[in-house]
Amino acid sequence: MYALVDGNNFYVSCERVFRPSLNGRPVVVLSNNDGCAIARSNEAKALGIKMGAPWFQIRHLEEQAGLVALSANFTLYGDMSDRMMSLAAGLGPTQEVYSIDESFIGLHGVRGDLVERAWKIRARIHQWTGIPCGIGIGSTKTLAKLANHVAKTAERKPGTYADGMASVCDLSKLRSDQLRAVLSSTEVGEVWGVGRQISAQLTALGVKSVQDFIELPCEVVRGKWGVVLERTWRELRGEACIEVADMPVPKQQIACTRSFGRPVADLAPLLEAISEFTSRAAEKLRKQRHLAGQVLVFARTSPFRDGPRFSKSVVVPLRRPSADTSTLTTAALAGVRAIYQPGFNLAKAGVMLLDLMPDTQMQGELAWDDPVTGQRDRAKLMVAMDQVNDRFGKRTVLLGSSGITLGADTWGMKQVRRTPRYTTVWGEVPTVRA
DNA sequence: TCTGGGGTCCTAGGACCC
DNA sequence: TCTGGGGTCCTAGGACCC
């Protein structure tokens, strides 16, 4: 048996914890550069605002409907997420943190009434963090995910499903006719693993509901869409195919990419941006205790704008795997110089670290010009740099090539509506007035 | 006239997730 | 004027091996 615990409208809920005046109002949280809506309160959803809606297309709702838009405050959301996850972990013996606002809980061996237990955990998360969440329970991960969807829909649109499924929903508790009713009134596109393409293809075949889908013959699913969808199909029928990944799996690639606050045409700001992105990526790499074998750099113009198009990337292999910021940056900057062409308004660029391997597997090498002691000193330098930056804040120590202004007047991010980092920066901790 | 069988590795592209 | 960022897995096809 599995559970999925999922924060409701997570980013918006995080903001509301510290600004209760936002309760009951339509609120959206915007992506980087205040580009588009990436989280919406129920009231914002009710206004018809779609996930990913560009801000300039919905900003008239600010005046017309009292919509509040906030810049993304990922520092806050990450910290709130940690708190929520550690409480959700109390639901069962294993936990897989699946995304910033969701975790799967393995319930094997848990005794007593699961639904009651889930309600308690939900209440505790709400009381201790202020985040409302939905909990879905099912005999497979896919069914738990579906149960979670039912729990949230039942809460938001009463009357969609039979009573008693709002907020906490255990599909395994239903009689077969009740389950059939739920699956028949849920669109197949809501299923975890069925995206836009497959959902359109299924609908074209007359397969609209989850119930329709699980009634398809296995060979048809396998033949037309492959093993991935077959797994989903089996899971929906109660056959567990996907386990809870209790241990976090190391990443196979690490990326840091950004859209620019304004178009970038010159090489200098581009170099600065890439240097900064590489530093960020290298920090993640060291946190994972891995080395990278290759660095990929890309830059491109906006796909939404007219004018000359540009999109290029290059993979720069390293002479030996490294997690050293300056080694990785040197490679990345060489890559940028190789692909850069003047005359384009670049909208976005990024760095990806590829060919990752544990730093314990580093192969020794004869290197007359680069003695092993030098390597060790560099590693110590990186440890020291990470410790200083952890303690005193990002970019306390940085590479000169990243620049000291964060590209404020060139490539830097636009974020005019960001709330304070209430829980992680002393100077921004909220003050309580009597 | 006739042209094997079985592998591996890599890459690009497409689908999905939040 | 203005459209996010970070990942995963699978498949097909080509190069190459014996």
Cα–Cα distance, A295 to A281 (Å, whole number)? 10
Q: Give the nucleotide with minimal C1' distance to the Cα of A304.
A: C3
Range A383-401 average pLDDT: 94
The confidence score (pLDDT) of residue A323 equals 94
pLDDT at A433: 87
All protein residues with a CB under 7 A from any atom of strand B = A 98-102, 145, 191-199
CA A351 to C1' B9, in angstroms, rounded, equals: 25
Q: What is the pTM of this model?
A: 0.94
Does residue A361 carry a pLDDT above 90?
no
Strand nucleotide closest to residue A7 (CA to C1'): B18
For the segment A261-295, what is each residue's pLDDT rounded down to a tens digit? 999 999 999 999 999 999 999 999 999 999 999 99
pLDDT category, A432, cuts 50, 70, 90? confident
Query: Contact at 8 Å (CB) between A137 and A3?
Result: yes
* Average pLDDT value for residue range A159-176: 94
Tokens of A84: 């929520």
A144-CA/B7-C1' distance, Å: 41
b/e burial code for range A21-45 (CB count within 10 A of at least 16 → b): ebeebbbbbbbbbbbbbbbbbbbbe
CA–CA separation, A36 and A58 (whole Å)? 9
The nucleotide minimizing the C1' distance to residue A100's CA is B18
Nucleotides of C under 7 A from a protein CB: 1-11
Distance A197 CA to B15 C1' (A): 8
Give distance CA A227 / C1' B8 (Å). Answer: 22
Contacts of A3 (CB under 8 A, 6+ apart): A91, A92, A104, A105, A107, A114, A118, A135, A136, A137, A144
> In chain B, which nucleotides are within 7 Å of a protein Cβ?
14-18
Residue A101 clears pLDDT 60, i.e. is over it: yes
CA distance linking residue A123 with residue A133, whole number of Å? 9
**Which segment, A102-111, A318-327, A356-365, A405-414, is predicted with the most confidence on average?**
A102-111
Residue A434 banded pLDDT, cuts 50, 70, 90? confident
Rounded distance in angstroms from the CA atom of residue A78 to the C1' atom of nucleotide C5 = 14
